[in-house]
């Protein structure tokens, strides 16, 4: 009887080993969990340890070159991760182009004529495919690019769970409904974050992504000329900052003019963003309401991160890992796309 049990155990192990070779990172417990609930072992940092150990080096080498050439690209890649996860989970649905079967999320109001960095993701994917064909998902590449872009901008690093699969669908509806608009109130921001399983600590920490990058005038012009529908400016704007913004963004035209989200250090990932908010120099309404939204908790968090950069870095790392775990596809769900812009069936 004992030897019979041993043979069964060996057969099971052999079966799972065969599956792991056929499906890199295979875990026998995948699947069957409620949306948004991610077991601890569904995603794990060593997912590509044997199937594509070079992936980290490939991603970093491409980003080092691209960000050195254009420092703004770091913020653009970080934003891709955020907008992807908030639509229908961290599944690279954002990368899909329009096709007969796909209505692209790129056409959503928060994304249209705004998102950048798709070509960099394409380049990383092509280089990874040369070394490890059919192995590394676009969703994981987006997550890796977000982390490494943060590091290359002077920010924190984090241990990144991997193993996401790519979706075969996109949702324009969810992209429009779930991605926070730049003119959001604090209450609306909290609602959208709570919908994703994120709390106010995550909201304030992840808003710190705006320590790098640029914003178009259209995303904050309302604050300069018609904040409350009365043709008046937002009274919370610091006066000199207000006049600086008016010089960049005239009342008529100039919607696509850009200005830094953080005037002090627009290409360095640091905590000056929070100092700016405290001075009335938050660029977007969704930035400034962290201090003016009459919520003692968000105000205290802004002050804490403004005073202690290391505290901000530590919480940012925790919160972005948490965000990266929003409804990923794992196991036999989804696919590993050959081209990040198309589902495999269409290639």
Residue 17: the pLDDT is 40
89 is in an annotated binding site: yes
Residue 83: the pLDDT is 99
Residue 168: the pLDDT is 98
pTM attached to this predicted model: 0.88
Give the Å distances, CA to CA, from 337 to 30, 165, 347: 19, 8, 10
The active-site residue out of 4, 81, 83, 188 is 83
Across the chain, the runs of DSSP E, i.e. the strands, are 214-216, 258-260
Candidates 208, 79, 223, 229; CA nearest to 146 is: 79
**pLDDT average per 10 residues of sequence, the chain (347 residues):** 46 43 42 41 91 98 98 98 98 98 97 97 99 98 99 99 98 98 97 98 99 98 95 96 97 96 97 98 98 97 99 99 98 97 92
- Token reading at 81: 């991760």
Residue 346: the pLDDT is 84
pLDDT, tens digit, 9 for 90 and up, residues 213-257: 999 999 999 999 999 999 999 999 999 999 999 999 999 999 999
Give the CA radius of gyration of the chain.
22
211 is in an annotated binding site: yes
pLDDT, tens digit, 9 for 90 and up, residues 88-109: 999 999 999 999 999 999 999 9
Find where tokens 């072992």 sit.
41
Q: What gap in Å lies between CA 331 and CA 160, rounded to an integer?
A: 18
Candidates 245, 248, 310; CA nearest to 276 is: 245
Angle of CA points 149, 152, 155, to nearest 5°: 85
- Token reading at 32: 């069957």
Find where tokens 């705006």 sit.
210
308 is in an annotated binding site: no
> Would you give the end-to-end CA distance of the chain in angstroms?
52
CATH architecture of 180-323: Orthogonal Bundle (1.10)
Question: Where do the structural domains in the chain lie, given as residue ranges?
Answer: 55-177+325-346, 180-323
CATH architecture of 55-177+325-346: Orthogonal Bundle (1.10)
122 is in an annotated binding site: no
346 is in an annotated binding site: no
300 is in an annotated binding site: no
Residue 4: the pLDDT is 52
210 is in an annotated binding site: yes
Q: Helix and strand tally (H, E) in the chain? A: 14, 2
Candidates 336, 310, 100, 294; CA nearest to 190 is: 294
Query: Taking a C-beta distance cutoff of 8 angstroms, is the pair 81, 139 a contact?
Result: no
Give the Å distances, CA to CA, from 48 to 51, 108, 163: 5, 33, 8
Query: Taking a C-beta distance cutoff of 8 angstroms, is the pair 215, 317 a contact?
Result: no
Q: What gap in Å lies between CA 262 and CA 179, rounded to an integer?
A: 21
Residue 347: the pLDDT is 76
Is 81 among the residues known to form the active site?
no
262 is in an annotated binding site: yes
Candidates 144, 175, 173; CA nearest to 161 is: 144
Residue 10: the pLDDT is 43
Query: Taking a C-beta distance cutoff of 8 angstroms, is the pair 338, 129 a contact?
Result: yes
Residue 5: the pLDDT is 44
């Amino acid at each position: 009887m004992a030897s019979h049990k041993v043979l069964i155990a060996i057969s099971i192990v052999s079966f799972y080993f065969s599956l792991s070779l056929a499906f890199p990172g295979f875990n026998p417990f995948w699947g069957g969990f409620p949306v948004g609930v991610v077991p601890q072992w569904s995603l794990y940092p060593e997912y590509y340890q044997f199937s594509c150990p070079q992936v980290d080096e490939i991603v970093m080498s491409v980003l080092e070159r691209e960000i050195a050439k254009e420092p703004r690209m770091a913020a653009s890649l970080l934003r891709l991760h955020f907008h992807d996860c908030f639509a229908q989970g961290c599944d690279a649905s954002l990368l899909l182009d329009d096709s007969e079967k796909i209505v692209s999320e790129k056409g959503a109001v928060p994304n249209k004529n705004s998102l950048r960095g798709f070509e960099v993701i394409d380049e990383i994917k092509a280089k990874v495919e040369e070394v490890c064909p059919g192995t590394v998902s676009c969703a994981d590449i987006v997550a890796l690019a977000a982390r490494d872009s943060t590091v290359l901008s002077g920010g924190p690093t984090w241990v990144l769970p991997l193993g996401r699969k790519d979706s075969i669908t996109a949702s324009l509806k969810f992209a429009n409904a779930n991605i926070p608009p730049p003119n959001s109130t604090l209450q609306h921001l909290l609602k959208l974050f709570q919908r994703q399983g994120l709390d106010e600590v995550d909201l304030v920490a992840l808003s710190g992504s705006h320590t790098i990058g640029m914003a178009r005038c259209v995303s904050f012009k309302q604050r300069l000329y018609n904040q409350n529908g009365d043709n008046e400016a937002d009274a919370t704007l610091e006066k000199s900052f207000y006049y600086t913004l008016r010089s960049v963004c005239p009342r008529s035209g100039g919607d696509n003019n850009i200005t830094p989200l953080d005037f002090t250090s627009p290409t360095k990932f640091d905590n000056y963003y929070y100092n700016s908010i405290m001075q009335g120099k938050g660029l977007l309404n969704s930035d400034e309401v962290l201090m003016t939204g009459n919520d003692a908790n968000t105000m205290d968090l802004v002050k804490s991160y403004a005073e202690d950069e290391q505290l901000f870095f530590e919480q940012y790392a925790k919160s972005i890992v948490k965000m990266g775990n929003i409804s990923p596809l794992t196991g036999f769900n989804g696919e590993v796309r050959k081209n990040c812009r198309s589902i495999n069936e269409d290639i």
